[in-house]
């Protein structure tokens, strides 16, 4: 199983707990990179690479990285859905006085305007 270096964006400190996480300096990581890759795969655990005692990146088994990416994508989708729901409530509150027909007409006009803007920006054809 391959290991990859992942930018450390979610953690401010090395993970602790039951796993065998190892922390090393950037210099040691440079000197012993291949050995750290093997250790990470063998122990199915992470190696946190630090600069001046601060975590910078993580070396982790590729399968763990794939799980991390999947979870991050899921979290982003959930954030987007929550934001759309918030915007929906905001729009509904602003447009309480619109009839169903007026709302559909505005939505259609808005959709066309957005499509035209996308087409103009990307140079594609529409219509």
Interval 53-93: pLDDT, tens: 999 999 999 999 999 999 999 999 999 999 999 988 888 88
Give the pLDDT of residue 11. 38
Burial of 49 per CB tally in 10 Å (0-12, 13-18, 19+): buried
Fold of the 3-64 domain: YefM-like fold (3.40.1620)
What does the block give as tokens for 84? 């759309």
* pLDDT value, residue 14: 43
Look at strands 22-25 and 3-7 and give their pairing.
unpaired
Phi, psi (rounded to 5 degrees) for 112: -65, -40
Span 111-119, mean pLDDT? 88
Residue 32 DSSP symbol: T
The full set of domain ranges for the chain reads 3-64, 82-122
């Amino acid at each position: 199983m391959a290991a990859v270096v992942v930018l450390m964006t979610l953690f401010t400190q090395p993970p602790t707990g039951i796993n065998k996480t190892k922390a090393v300096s950037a210099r040691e990581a440079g000197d012993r990179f291949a050995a750290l890759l093997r250790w990470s795969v063998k122990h199915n655990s992470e190696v946190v690479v630090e600069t001046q005692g601060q975590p910078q990146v993580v070396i982790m088994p590729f399968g763990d990285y794939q799980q991390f990416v999947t979870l991050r994508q899921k979290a982003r989708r959930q954030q987007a859905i929550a934001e759309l729901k918030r915007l929906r409530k905001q729009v509904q509150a602003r447009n309480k006085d619109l009839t169903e027909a007026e709302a559909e007409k505005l939505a259609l006009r808005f959709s066309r305007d957005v499509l035209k803007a996308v087409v103009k920006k990307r140079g594609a054809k529409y219509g």
